[in-house]
A and B are shown apart, each in its own frame.
Chain A
């Protein structure tokens, strides 16, 4: 899958952009605040309709403009499609090949893009919400229905929390929300676990590859270390927690998950009322990662943590490639500046092996160890692109 042409109007600081990317590496160089990330965000938004950072559509529209426009020509083997997203202050309109798309799920898969940004690098050290965001984005890319579940869950959660905060919460109403949360929560959890089950073996392979490439240990030793790699899904409302996804994972049935979450919500109602918020459910769950029987977060070095995240992103791309049966577009947002020289070399070794289209932003062109015919370069200054 590749983006053959991109046209942007009034998206954040990008007044007007025409870009004809190449099928392999596309490098965008420029100082901070010039619009490089906005360009990647436009591509991501074209793919997922959701934006990367903004909560509100108005934030995506250039100052003093009424609407933003992102238009792309996308090809997948012989298929060519024209996608267009119009962003107004109150909503988005999606048009595919000249026809208005009524349900986002019908648009799903038109342009699949995986983002890799400095935020991801901090994922293992940061709070659980960053790991959930990684997981949710990965699952969403492979399952169209997931987004609807997450949105419904969040909407019910907000209503339930409002009941909890009210002076005299209605028990009957709480029970109704518990029932709905258990319903959507079970579906979300099941999809996350199914994803992790498919993700783990690929992640382990990538992890082993990276440790070997890192040159820190011999190949045989890294294979042994990789054997001790353990990934768990932590859910306070489920027993046992964390659910180990490293071995033969049998994903619990929807019914079992629903009963489990429903029970935990009922038992926690009093505590939830005291705190004014819902303490258990997939919105509080977390990923646990360990090797050599130690939790990664607490003992791995900064460099190792980044190498592991790199392996996770590679696995995410591979799972997606297998699921979609074509290569997604890769968006790398200024990742090189956050990696040391050896890991940068590693990143570019891996990228050269990745067959698809890649967009890379950087502040210094020297960071990007890519040369040759399949590399196209642009400078980005004040929202404008210039070939270089």
Chain B
């Protein structure tokens, strides 16, 4: 490539980010130009640092700087329960609740054959390998993929794969949010909530 205008180059790179259109990319680019050089330095180092230092945990596939990741290293966590999530942001959301003390497995996606994402494109094989080691002592796998059709497909597929193992596979409940109003809850959610009712 010959000499590309540096501003155009920055704008076109920024516009490749999800949720960033041409307009926003322009605004961000001119903001960066206006800021002191130290900001651009810091930003570019942060970008490179992320690529250089972050990798996948060989146990749970979480994004991590150390291997194994801090959750897999921790001795306070319950190794008998694994919570399967679509991505690291979901893991962080569950961590923020403070309700879960087991370990995780990060899939990095859900099954979407239409977009070329089949079982080989997400980290399900790693999960099966993990369960094939009986010394891990896993008793339950909680599948916490999103409650939409693709998340549901992935959950059912995982349940099927794990059938040969002596492990309980559960699905997170979906239903009416706390503080919600029955009258204003859509019927699909209400139906699900009724199906997944529990004794009190």
> Residues on A close to B: CB < 8 A?
103, 105-106, 144-145, 148, 152, 155-156, 158-160, 162-163, 166, 170, 172-173, 175-177, 179-180
Contact = CB atoms under 8 A, between A and B. Distances in A.
Given A145-B187, A173-B118, A173-B119, A180 B113 contact: no
Given A152-B149, A180-B149, A172 B161 contact: yes
B156 interface: yes
A105 B188 CA distance: 9
B56 to A, nearest CB: 23
B181 to A, nearest CB: 11
A177 B153 contact: yes
Contacts of B112: 159
Contact of A159 (B153, B187, B188, B191): B153
A172 B187 contact: no
A180 B153 contact: yes
Residue of B113, B119, B191 with highest tally of chain A CB at under 10 A: B113
A203 B118 CA distance: 47
Given A156-B149, A173-B113, A176-B153, A145 B160 contact: no
Contacts of B149: 152, 155-156, 159, 180
A145 B184 CA distance: 14
Chain B: interface residue count, which band? 10 to 19
Given A177-B153, A180-B153, A159 B186 contact: no
A150 to B, nearest CB: 12
B138 interface: no
Contacts of A145: 186-188, 191
A98 B126 CA distance: 50
13 contacts: A103-B186, A105-B188, A145-B186, A148-B187, A155-B149, A156-B149, A159-B113, A159-B150, A162-B113, A163-B118, A173-B113, A173-B118, A180-B152
Please give me the 6 A-B residue pairs with the lowest Cβ-Cβ distance, nearest first: A162-B113, A105-B186, A162-B114, A145-B187, A103-B186, A176-B156
B131 interface: no
Interface in B125-180: 149-150, 152-153, 156-157, 160-161
A158 B186 CA distance: 25
B111 interface: yes
B114 A172 contact: no
Contact of A106 (B113, B150, B186): B186
B19 to A, nearest CB: 11
B88 to A, nearest CB: 24
Given A145-B188, A159-B150, A173-B118, A179 B156 contact: yes
A115 to B, nearest CB: 24
B153 A156 contact: yes
Contact of B114 (A159, A176, A179): A159
Contacts of A155: 149-150
Given A156-B153, A162-B113, A166-B113, A176 B184 contact: no
Contacts of A105: 186-188
Contact of B118 (A152, A160, A166, A179): A166
A288 B21 CA distance: 50
